[in-house]
Structure 1
Amino acid sequence: MSIEPLICAALQSNSSLLISLDIEGITGSHTALIDSGSSANFIDPQYAHWLSLPLTELSSPWQVLGINGKEVRDAVRFKCTLRITVQSHFFTPTFFCLPLGDRDTILGLPWLRQANPDIGWLSMVVKLPDPLIAEAADIIAFSSPLFTIPTEYEQFKEVFGEQFFASLPPHRPYN
């Protein structure tokens, strides 16, 4: 079985689209590079070791291709799944351990697809949608209340009126 190589475009790029994140169980704020050209999320192994993160060994090493299409010298051998918070949004991405040079973490396409952030490419600002606004956008308001009762429920018409809800049911010796 052939494993598709991972792609890490940031290894060959000078772009610096950075975002702050918090890692559950780890104090302090951390910075990640956002890389839409990376097919995975990556974490530097030295950084993972420094944070004492629990790493899982892969069954076989995965090759990584840089933006130039050439194989990166170091293959991915470990991964870790972290619970992170970015702009009050919670995520549980898997990070593959890869030496990243001057970067600690890279949030690639899997995170971008899940988070779906608004990215200002001129200002280099990343904004996640407000969770309350996203929920409110899903609510559909009816322009007028529904006053008609379907004919099959006509015999139960009194339970659909306000008078029915104005009082409690009669007291009974059982509940």
Structure 2
Amino acid sequence: MQLGRSRLAAQGHRPRGQMRLCYHCGASGHLSPRCPERLSSAQVGGSSSFFNLMVPVSLNFYERCVPVSVLIDSGAAINLIDGALVEELGIPTFPCVPALRITAIDSQPIGEGYLKRQTELLEFQVGLFHYEQLAFYVTSLPANPVILGFPWLRRHDPQISWRSGELVRWSSTCLRGCLRDPVSRPYRTSCVERATPAACGHLPHPYTDFREVFSEERAARLPSHQVWDCAIDLLPNTSLPKGWIYPLSLPESKAMEDYIETALTVGHIWPSTSPAATGFFFVGKRDGVLRPCIDYRGLNAITVWYPYPLPLVPAALEQLRGARVFTKLDLRSAYNLVRICKGDEWKTAFHMTSWPL
């Protein structure tokens, strides 16, 4: 513990602030909440058995974004911010009328014993997508510049991993109000459009054990039947509609013949005398290639809808906070990887100008 040293006098704050110096040690390159000397002195005399839940956040105001470390304290009855940080950043405040008395757990006064000022509403960002507006009471916090108290925990009810000391999930209230959709940003990426046999023969050494993943022949096979196959259950007292036979142009007719020949060869389709059949047509892609489409709108209208619990995109992305490396998988013929439940294949029949399938 450092003895005989006092904090900087109030009259010395303004010159250091004008020179962009730390209020605590007078050095440049950091703000007082991140002062190494301040943090190390705050830890002197502490016990390693105590656990503090510290969360990195951002204070956004007047087109400024200031990163700070926040202590989440369920024993604090209010949200607090350090007065030195408020003065250093120039955060506007207004008087508390009347002043609030503040005491520690042993009923001893903290600082002057009263909270006399409060900040205006500040935009407060936790993680990537969690935003809210908060006002803080101003006091002297030598170790932690910002403290979020029990009212904040009760409002957001986050799930906390006490093992890792992280917020791992937000409540349903946050999913509806606090989490914002991510903003698309351009990133430089690389991808492999097609894994040709030649490319499979020249795989980098780390991937040689996974050579079958790059096989076009294996990618064209239908997956084996599993318990999670896609079942097509029809609503009671309904019958499968008969779709239209769409007229095809000469290029589309040639594309249809090529598609039928290829799909029959690999076993994706086979001839059928099913009483149900829907229309078949093509849609042009950006590169000019004709993409085959089957009109299953009539079938979807009479199919039992199973509301599987899909994760919300903002909530799923929030779990990736702090991640730096991601994997992109290009699934060839991904639609064919969804295997129809055995016995329901006849419901997916389609017909064309030449023959029914």
TM-score (norm. length: structure 2):
0.33
CA-to-aligned-CA distance 1:76-124 (integer Å, 9 cap, x gap) = 1001121111121111122101101121100111211222111112322
Q: Which one of the candidate residues 145, 155, 159 is aligned to 1:114?
A: 155
Matched, 1:21 2:50: no
Question: Would you say the 8 A contact 1:118–1:127 is kept in 2?
Answer: yes
Structure 2 CA distance for partners of 1:122 and 1:53, relative to 1, 3 Å: same
Pairs aligned (count): 129
Matched, 1:32 2:73: no
Secondary structure class of the residue paired with 1:92: strand
Give unpaired runs (5+ residues) of structure 2.
1-45, 177-233, 238-297, 299-357
Name the structure 1 match of 2:117.
78
Letter in 1 for 2:83: P
Name the structure 2 match of 1:105.
146
Question: Would you say the 8 A contact 2:156–2:171 is kept in 1?
Answer: no
Q: Which one of the candidate residues 159, 163, 166 is aligned to 1:125?
A: 166
Letter in 2 for 1:53: I
Letter in 1 for 2:133: T
TM-score (norm. length: structure 1):
0.63
Q: Which one of the candidate residues 66, 80, 92 is aligned to 2:104?
A: 66
* Inter-partner Cα distance in structure 1 for 2:235 and 2:84: 61
Structure having the larger proportion of residues in helix: 2
* Inter-partner Cα distance in structure 1 for 2:171 and 2:236: 31
Structure having the larger proportion of residues in strand: 1
Deviation at residue 68 of structure 1 after TM alignment:
1.9
Name the structure 2 match of 1:53.
91
Secondary structure class of the residue paired with 1:28: strand
Question: Would you say the 8 A contact 2:80–2:147 is kept in 1?
Answer: yes
Taking the TM superposition and a 5 Å limit, the aligned residue runs for 1:139-154 are none
Identity %: 23
* Inter-partner Cα distance in structure 2 for 1:85 and 1:145: 47
Q: Which one of the candidate residues 74, 77, 82 is aligned to 1:44?
A: 82
RMSD over aligned Cα atoms: 3.1
Letter in 2 for 1:84: F
Deviation at residue 32 of structure 1 after TM alignment:
0.6
Deviation at residue 134 of structure 1 after TM alignment:
4.2
CA-to-aligned-CA distance 1:42-100 (integer Å, 9 cap, x gap) = 00011111111010111122110112222224211001121111121111122101101
* Inter-partner Cα distance in structure 1 for 2:101 and 2:53: 25
Give unpaired runs (5+ residues) of structure 1.
1-11, 136-143, 148-161, 163-175
Letter in 1 for 2:85: Y
Larger radius of gyration: 2
* Inter-partner Cα distance in structure 1 for 2:81 and 2:235: 53
Secondary structure class of the residue paired with 1:39: coil
Matched, 1:93 2:131: no
Comparing 22-31 with 52-61, which one deviates more in the overlay?
22-31
